[in-house]
A = this chain, B = another copy of it.
Amino acid sequence: MAEFALIDLIRARCAVAREDVRLGIGDDAALLAVPAGQTLAVSTDTLVSGVHFPKDTAPFDIGWKSLAVNLSDLAAMGATPAWATLALTLPDADAAWTAAFADGFAVLAREFDLALVGGDTTQGPLSITVTVHGFVPESLALRRSGAKVGDAVFVTGTLGDAAAGLALLQGPGVAGKAQEHLLARLNRPTPRVAQGLLLRARAHACIDVSDGLVADLGHICHASAVGAEIDLTLLPASPALLGLVAAEARVPLQLAGGDDYELCFSAAPAIATELLNDLARSGCAATRIGRIVAEPGVRVRAADGSLVASPRPGWEHFSP
């Protein structure tokens, strides 16, 4: 299958019509109209085979995840998704693989009314770079830098599932409903776009948890020149994680496992109840897990108030 046939295949499967796409795939560049009053939110993420997903991951899941991790960044800004470009590097032009990949990408694209507006298909080691574009009024955008001492700290959904799913793949294998849940959390993360929109003008700071809770909350603290304390007993865990992983193995997954794609945010304690109710109604509950403090750094406290030694910091490329 030749390059242009591959492009046509992807294009056909990912077709989403938007009035603001004045010129889509097929020219030297797409022409796009940003609505008045909106700023453009742009983010890009690369997934490399064998690094960001196991080499034998199903192409549908790779397609899904490559868009999901990017949508998660828009969610963390409180932005509404609009457009994406896809740079797909493939070792060979496998039509069945590419069709399944495009189908996984397209499920999320359709769910979020996102148009694929351009891309590049090249030959090389399997790697996917997606660049997403969304809209948010500048004054409502969620940044990392607005956390205030005294804020409560929250996280959506549950933590540690994806890391547990990865451990299953590397160890005992996947058999049973609970294992499948963890694997789905690894391979098909749900970008918290609706929750990001609910946080507009209410959260003081927000980030998506991709590298691990402690690392990503650390980015909020660094950007806001504050610190944070997390209560270990408050960390949300899924029934699947609770059922399959003992407490001592669970904690590092929840604190530093990575690939959660939940939103971690801070807000005034006075609006906590209202915020938590609104989020629960949105289909993804959030949990209050700690507080913003003046002392820099992220500390984790056990039930008795003692400090828990933090596990390795979150995932970092090129770490020794």
A220 CB, nearest partner CB in chain B, Å:
10
Q: Is A259 close to B, CB under 8 A?
A: no
Task: Give the interface SS of chain A, mostly helix, strand, loop or mixed.
Answer: strand
Contact residues of A between 75 and 99, Cβ < 8 Å to B: 76-77, 79, 83, 85-87, 89-90, 92-93
Q: Is A117 close to B, CB under 8 A?
A: yes
Closest to A23 in B: B143
Most buried by B among A2, A6, A120: A120
**Chain A 48-66 against B: per-residue CB contact (8 Å), 1 yes, 0 no?**
1111100000000000000
Q: Is A129 close to B, CB under 8 A?
A: yes
Beyond A3-B319, A44-B118, A122-B317, 18 extra complex contacts between A and B, CB < 8 Å: A3-B318, A23-B141, A27-B144, A28-B76, A29-B42, A29-B73, A29-B134, A31-B39, A31-B40, A31-B41, A32-B40, A43-B85, A44-B85, A48-B123, A51-B123, A85-B131, A87-B131, A92-B318
Binding site for B on A (CB under 8 A): 1-4, 6, 22-23, 26-34, 36, 39-46, 48-52, 73-74, 76-77, 79, 83, 85-87, 89-90, 92-93, 117-125, 127, 129, 131-134, 136, 138, 141, 143-145, 206-208, 223, 316-319
